[in-house]
Structure 1
Amino acid sequence: MLIIRPIETNDYPALYQIAQDSGIGFTSLPVNEELLKNKIAESIKAFNSNPQRAGEQSYLLVMEDTQTGEVVGTSGIEATVGLQDAFYHYHVGKVVHASRELNVHNTVDILTFCNDYSGVSEICTLFLQEKARKGLAGRLLSKCRFLFMAQHQQRFADIVIAEMRGVSDERGKSPFWEWLEDHFFSVDFPTADYLTGIGNKVFIAELMPKYPIYVNLLSKAAQNCIGQVHDKTLPALRMLEKEGFKCRGYVDIFDAGPTVEADVSNIATVRQSHEASVEISTNTELDDCDEHFIINSEVASFRACIGRIKILDNNKVAISEKLAKALLVKEGATIRYAHNSLQHY
C-alpha cells in the first residue's frame, strides 16, 4: 500500500536521491545537503506547530510503499510565500502604441517584474519516482495536499498557487533564460536555478531589469517559451487545471513557465470532499465499494492513502481494519475523503 506521511529525519537519503533525480529546474529541491536537511527540520517543526493563521510553515510530505518501506515521492505546501524572502514573477500584460494621425494601432505584450503573489500559499515539490508512476499514485500525491488544506484551513491563505516548470532541455538550457543571461545576468540557467533554490535571491533584485520588457524584443525561441511547460510537467498542469487552477498571466522569471492559482475553497477536491466518523468493519462487502482518496484529521501524525469505504447513515463510513491501520485511526475517529471520480479527468 502507498501512504502519504510527514517527512522524517531518517528520510534524508531518499530526499537527496529525489533531488538528484528531479533534475535542473526543480528549484524547490536543490542538491544541497545542508538545505535539504534544513527543509526536513522546518517541516517537522511545521507539523508540530499550532498556528491560528497562515504563517511561514513549510510542510513536506513523502509517499512510502509500506511493502518495501521505500520512499518513492514527495509533495509539499508552503503556508505562505514572499513574507520573509522576496517572491518574484513576471506578469504578462499589454501596452498599446497608437496614433490617430498616422492611423497606427499596435498592441504589444510586455513582461513586468512583480511580487504580486506575496502572502499566498503554494503547493510545490511534487515528484514521483518513475517506477511508482502508475495507477492513482500521482493523483494521491497531489490531492492529499488539498484534503489537508481543507481539513486545516486556518493554516493556509485563501489563495494557493503552483509554479510549473518551464521549457528547458536535458542539459538545463532554457531559451528564455538565455536571452536574460545574454543581456543582464551572465549566469547560466542551472547556476541561477541552484542559487534561488538555496535561498540566494539577492542577485535577482540586483541584476533583473527594473522596467517592463517588450516581448517582441526577445528572441523567437524565448518568446515561444512564455507560459509553456516542460514536457514532464504537462500531466501535473493538466491535473491542476481539472482541479480549477488557472494561469492569470504570471510566469517564472527564469524559464517563463506558468504559475497557476485557485481559491482553496473552489478547488474541486476540496469542494467534493466530506468529513465522516469511522466504523471499522471486517465485512467483505467493502471490496465492492468505490475507491476514495482519504486522510485522517491529524497534523503531526497525518496520513493519506487510497482505499475503499462504505458510506453509512448519520455521516459515518465503514472502512477495513487494514485501512484504519494505514490511516492511524480508531473507531469513531474523523476522516476526510474525496471520491476517485473520473469525471474531472
Structure 2
Amino acid sequence: MMVVRPIQADDHAALRELARKTGPGFTSLQDNDEQVAAKMESALAAYNPDSIPEEALYLFVMEETDTGEVVGICGIESAVGLSDPWYNYRVGTLVHASRELNVYNQIHTLTISNDHTGYSELCTLFLSPDARHSKQGSLLSKSRFMFMAEFPQRFNEYLIAEMRGYSDDKGVSPFWEGLGRHFFSLDFAEADKLSSMDKVFIAELMPKNTIYTNLLPQSAQDAIGKTHEATTPARKLLESEGMRYTGYIDIFDGGPTLVSRTNDIRAIQESRYVKAHVTDRQPEGELYLVSTTDFRDFRCCMTALDLVGNHVVGLPQNVADALKITEGNTVRVVPMSSGRRF
C-alpha cells in the first residue's frame, strides 16, 4: 500500500537517493548534498502547527507501507518570490505593420517578469522510475491538493506549477543554447544548478530589455512553452485539474508555467468530509483519494471504497492502517479522475 505523508528527519537518506535520479533540468531537487540538506531543514521547520509562516516548503514522500521504502517526493511552496526574486519570461506579441508596404507581422516577445510573486507553487514532484505505474504518479501529485484543501489558510489565492522544459536525449536545452548561454556563458546544467541556490546572479546577468523571439534560432523558438517528455504526463494531469498555460515560461529551459486560482482546482473544490467505516472487504471500481485531517500526521492514500451512506464510506483495513485511522474517524475524499463526481 502506498501512502503520501509529510517528510521526516529520518527520510534524509531516501531524499538524497531520489536526488541522484532526477537528472538535468530538475531544478528543485538536484544531485547536491547542500541543496538536499537545505530542503530537509526548510521542510521540517514548515510543519509547526503553532504558526503559519509567510514562506514555507511543505515536502511529502510516498512510502510503501509494507517495506518502508520511499519511492517519491512532492512539495508545495506556500509563497514564492518574497525573499528571493521569482523570475520568468512573459510571452507577448508586438505587431509591426505598414499599410503603405502592405506588411503586417506579429512578433512574439519575451520580457522578464516577477508577476507570480507571492503565489503558491507546486514543486519537486519526482517518482522513482520503477514506481511509475498503477496511477501512483497521480496519487503523489494530487495528494498535495488534499493537503491544500485541508489547510487553505497556509496558501495563496493563486497557484503555479513550473513544468520542466524540453531538452534532447543528451540533456541539452535548445532554449538555453539559443538565449541563456549568450548572457551567462555557462552550460545549462551548471546554470540550473546555481539557480537553485543563488538567484542573485540571474538578476545581474539576464537581459533587461524585451527579446524578439524571431531573432532566436528556430530550435529555441520551438522550445518555448514545450514540456520535457518525462514531464508531459504531469502537465496533462495538472491541466485535467484546472491549471492552464497562460504565456509564462522558465528563463532557463523555456518550460511552461501553469496557473490557476487555488479554489478552482477540481480536487480541492470537490473534495468533502465523510466518516470512515473500516471493513475487511476489498472494494472494487472507481478509485478515490482519501486523506486525513491531521497537519503533522497528514496522510493520503488511493483506494476504491464502498458508499455506505451520504456521509459514510467503507474503507479496507489496510487503507485504514496506512492512514492511521480507526472506525468513525473523519476523512476527506474525492474521486481520482477529474471526470467523476462523488
> What's the TM-score once normalised by structure 1's chain length?
0.94
**Matched ranges for 1:170-319 at <5 A:** 170-198=169-197, 200-282=198-280, 284=281, 286-288=282-284, 290-313=286-309, 315-319=311-315
Query: Which of 331, 334, 338 is the matching residue for 2:327?
Result: 331
Provide the C-alpha distance between the structure 2 equivalents of 1:291 and 1:217, rounded to a whole number of angstroms. 49
Mapping of 1:49-60 within 5 angstroms? 49-51=49-51, 55-60=54-59
CA deviation map 1:220-271 (0-9, x unaligned): 1111100101111111111111111110000000000000111121112122
Matches of 1:308 and 1:101 in 2, distance apart? Answer: 67
SS at match of 1:234: helix
1:58-137 alignment runs, 5 A limit: 58-137=57-136
**Which residue of structure 2 lines up, in the alignment, with residue 16 of structure 1?**
16
* Matched-pair contact (CA < 8 Å) for 2:176–2:252: yes
Alignment partner, residue 340 of structure 1: 336
Q: Sequence identity, in percent?
A: 46
Question: Which stretches of structure 1, 4 residues or more, deviate above 6 A after TM superposition?
Answer: none
Q: Deviations over 1:131-155 (max 9, x none)?
A: 1111020110011001111111111
Q: Distance in 1 between matches of 2:190 and 2:331?
A: 44
Provide the residue aligned with 2:42 in structure 1.
42
> How far did residue 81 of structure 1 move?
0.5
1:25 aligns with 2:7: no
Residue 181 and residue 271 in structure 1: after superposition, are their counterparts in 2 closer, same or farther (change >3 A)?
Answer: closer
Q: Identify which range, 242-251 or 327-336, moves more after superposition.
A: 327-336
Question: Could you tell me whether the CA contact under 8 Å between 1:51 and 1:155 is conserved in 2?
Answer: no
Moved more, 40-49 or 135-144: 40-49
RMSD: 1.7
C-alpha displacement of 1:5: 0.9
CA contact 2:283–2:306 (8 Å) conserved in 1: no
Match of 1:149?
A: 148
- TM-score, with structure 2 as normaliser: 0.94
The structural deviation recorded for 1:99 is 2.7
How far apart, CA to CA, are the structure 1 residues paired with 2:290 and 2:35?
A: 31
- Cα deviation code 1:251-295 (max 9, x no counterpart): 00000000011112111212221111223334x3x5346431111
Point out where structure 2 has 5 or more consecutive residues left out of the alignment: none
Corresponding residue of 2:168: 169
Q: Distance in 2 between matches of 1:123 and 1:76?
A: 6
**Aligned residue-pair number:** 340
